[in-house]
Amino acid sequence: VQDLWTGILHHVTDEHQWYFGPCRHGPLEEDRDKEWIPKSSAALTRLQKIVFDERWLKNIPKYLSFRSTSDLESFHNRVPPSVSPSHHQCTPLGPSWQGWIITTTYTEEN
């Protein structure tokens, strides 16, 4: 997965075959309107900082496995408006007991 992610650095410089493999796209159009990023440019250096960011690299598997918000939407449908933070002040000890019970019940069922 990480090899595929770091492959973006090759792709944006018009290099579609490298040591770890090729890009996964088909043939590219010859009459492209977009320019490729030069290998010695500041833009590529900035992109490398983003691609190789340690926190981002650690989270790649999480982002790839979580593709739907349906579980989150289902959970939020169970929370009555009275439990919503916009409708009451949470105590310094944490959220209301009603919110805790809803969260615990939902987690155990799913």
Q: What is the pLDDT of residue 6?
A: 81
More confident residue, 53 or 3: 53
Query: Does 43 lie in the same domain as 27?
Result: yes
Domain boundaries, position 39: 2-65
Closest CA to 59 of 51, 49, 70: 51
Q: What is the pLDDT of residue 81?
A: 60
Among 45, 65, 85, which residue terminates a domain? 65
Query: Does 9 lie in the same domain as 60?
Result: yes
Q: pLDDT tens digit string along 13-53?
A: 988 888 878 888 888 887 778 888 999 999 999 999 988 88
Count of structural domains within the chain: 2
For residues 90 and 96, is the Cβ–Cβ distance under 8 A?
A: yes
Query: Does 47 lie in the same domain as 81?
Result: no
Dihedral sign computed on CA atoms, order 36, 38, 42, 44: positive
| pTM, full prediction | 0.51
Q: pLDDT tens digit string along 65-109?
A: 666 667 667 766 766 665 555 544 554 445 555 555 556 665 556
